Amino acid sequence: MQKPARAGTLPAMGQDGPQSAPRARVLIVTASVGAGHNSAARAIAEALALSVPEVHSEVLDVLTFAPWAFRAYYAGGYSLAVTKLPSLYGLGFWLTDRPNGPRRGWMERFRLCRERRKLRAFERHVAAAGADLVVNTHFLAPPLLGRMRDTGLLAAPQFVVVTDIRMHRFWFAEGVDRWFVPAGKTAERLADWAVPTERVTVSGMPIHPKWREPLDRRKILADWRLPEGRPIVLVSAGADFTCGPVLRIVKDLLSGCEGAFVAVAAGRNKKLLGRLSRLPATGRDLAAFSFTDRIHELVEVSSLVVTKAGGLTTAECLSKARPMVLLRPVPGQESGNAAYLAQEGAAVMAAGAADTVEQVRRLLARPDELDRLSDNARRLYRPGAETIAAAIRATVVEQRCGGGRG
């Protein structure tokens, strides 16, 4: 997917032409830290374009307004930690996930003060933008926007869209009018922070509308040159991060799951893609694909998905009611996502590479268990993007136009 760009570079959403004047302006603020926050922002923008054409939406990456050193530390540090130092990342996640109440601790006050100093350019841009509503899909901007509202620099309300089931303290912000969370478990954390329940909507995570469009299975199989009549195991290695020894897992799946066809979404990992393409099973029992915006088609025709426990990734699988085998998660929000999905019976967690293969082999041999996982996934899915788009309409269109007329 495309990376959110700085203000003024994105096309207007929901306009009939260059002369059309939007009735309301919505800023959707994200941060390029991993792929999920950006995907959520784009999903909301697309849902608005489809269902609320009266709204002009603009996606902003808050980090493009920060000094380069802060961007390198904030986004680069995250990437390094989750890929190379997951245990250290998990320790940091736990140490900073406090206090568990509405009052700010001195450490987080210091952090927020430092972030405000680094994001003054973002503050000036938002103050001048004249937005009717700000929607956040990352936790960096909401505390700053809340302070802007307190000081009179911002009149627009703000929404926060949480993209993790296990909600970290960094998400907490004052001055938020509506919270949209993926699950009831997430809402419980907001209650601990004294957020009124009437401001919280259990919406599910926003995913691109294309995930809910009806698809032709036979056409997909023909387009991707995948076999009919065989179980397809989709291994999703991730667009930005690859978690786990994917090459080893794929080799073991090929040798241990007789009759199955393995499809691998290798993302932007060219090295992995090259190694997979040289395996003898390529074409017969294996296909590997580079980054694509049609991953929903591969999920549609798969029997189960082997993936990391990212919030948006798993939400997309829920929308297709696909059983998941979750790779060993990074401690923190991913482990929280994985634990929740396993407890709800929509996925199974694998302890490592060998266990991943064993779980896949076991599930393929038990169609009744696959069906149970699929039913639970279907039960957990909620139309997050559509729910959020409807709330935006109610806030910025109906209030301005007298109940949404014209």
Number of domain units in the chain? 2
Distance, CA of 248 to CA of 369 (rounded, Å):
25
- Compute the distance between CA of residue 259 and CA of residue 245 in angstroms, rounded to an integer: 22
Residue 267: per-residue pLDDT: 85
Spatial separation of the C-alpha atoms in residues 137 and 9, rounded to whole Å: 19
Do both 107 and 176 map to the same domain? Answer: yes
Q: Give the pLDDT confidence of 376-406 residue by residue, as tens digits.
A: 999 999 999 999 999 999 998 766 655 443 3
Residue 285 has what pLDDT?
A: 95
Domain that holds residue 100: 24-204+383-401
Is 1 part of a structural domain of the chain?
no
Specify whether 182 is located in the same domain as 278: no
Q: Do 264 and 287 contact (CB within 8 A), yes or no?
A: yes
2 located within any domain: no
Same domain? For 395 and 324 the reply is no
Measured between alpha carbons, how far is residue 346 from residues 161, 188, 362 in Å? Answer: 23, 21, 15
Strands 324-326 and 178-181: unpaired
Evaluate the CA torsion angle 88, 180, 197, 56 in order and state its sign: positive
Residue at 342 is within a domain: yes
Q: Is 362 a member of any domain?
A: yes
Q: What is the pLDDT of residue 148?
A: 96
List the CATH number of the domain containing 46: 3.40.50.2000
8 in any annotated domain: no
pLDDT score of 238: 61
Q: Do residues 190 and 262 share a domain?
A: no
- Say if residue 59 is in the same domain as residue 104: yes
d(CA 330, CA 166): 13
Shared-domain flag, residues 263 and 139: no
Q: For the chain, how many helices (H) and strands (E)?
A: 18, 12
Range 38-42 contact pairs with CB under 8 angstroms and sequence separation of 24 or more: 38/1, 38/3, 38/4, 38/137, 39/1, 39/207, 39/208, 39/312, 40/137, 40/161, 40/163, 40/205, 40/206, 40/207, 40/312, 41/4, 41/135, 41/137, 42/1, 42/2, 42/4, 42/208
pTM over the 0.85 mark: yes
Report the candidate in 280, 244, 195 with the shortest Cα–Cα distance to residue 354.
244
| Structure tokens, 254 | 């090929």
Bridge partners for 29 per DSSP:
60, 136
Query: Exposed, middle or buried: residue 295 (CB in 10 Å: 0-12, 13-18, 19+)?
Result: buried
- The alpha carbons of the chain give a radius of gyration, in whole angstroms, of 22
Rounded Cα distance, 160 and 26, in Å: 13
Q: Which residues contact 162 (CB under 8 A, 6 or more apart)?
A: 171, 179, 180, 181, 182, 186
| Residues 165, 77 share a domain | yes
Residue 367 lies in a domain: yes
Do both 129 and 194 map to the same domain?
yes
Residue 57 forms part of a structural domain? yes
Which three-class secondary structure state does DSSP give residue 81?
A: helix
3-state secondary structure 222-257: HHHCCCCCCCEEEEECCCCCCCCCHHHHHHHHHHHC
Q: Do 359 and 396 have their domain in common?
A: no
Query: Looking at the structure, do residues 194 and 245 belong to the same domain, yes or no?
Result: no
Please write the tens of the pLDDT for every residue from 6-46.
Answer: 443 334 444 444 445 457 899 999 999 978 899 999 999 99
Tokens representing 317 are: 């699988």
308 close to 267: Cβ distance less than 8 angstroms: no
Instruction: For residue 287, tell me if it sits in a domain.
Output: yes
The pLDDT of residue 329: 87
Same domain for 193 and 217? no
Based on the domain organization, do 262 and 345 belong to the same domain? yes
pLDDT (tens place) for every residue of the chain, 406 residues total: 444 444 433 344 444 444 454 578 999 999 999 788 999 999 999 999 999 988 999 999 999 999 999 999 898 888 888 888 888 989 999 999 999 999 999 999 999 999 999 999 999 999 999 999 999 999 999 999 999 999 999 999 999 999 999 999 999 999 999 999 999 999 999 999 999 999 999 999 999 999 999 999 999 999 999 999 999 999 986 644 555 688 999 999 999 998 999 999 988 888 888 999 999 999 999 999 998 999 999 999 999 999 999 999 999 999 999 999 999 888 999 999 999 999 999 999 999 889 999 999 999 999 999 999 999 999 999 999 999 999 999 998 766 655 443 3
- Backbone φ, ψ for residue 359 (5° rounding): -65, -40
Residue recorded with tokens 């802060």: 70
Confidence (pLDDT) at 359: 96
Q: Are strands 232-236 and 261-265 parallel, antiparallel or unpaired?
A: parallel
Q: What is the pLDDT, as a whole number, of residue 401?
A: 59
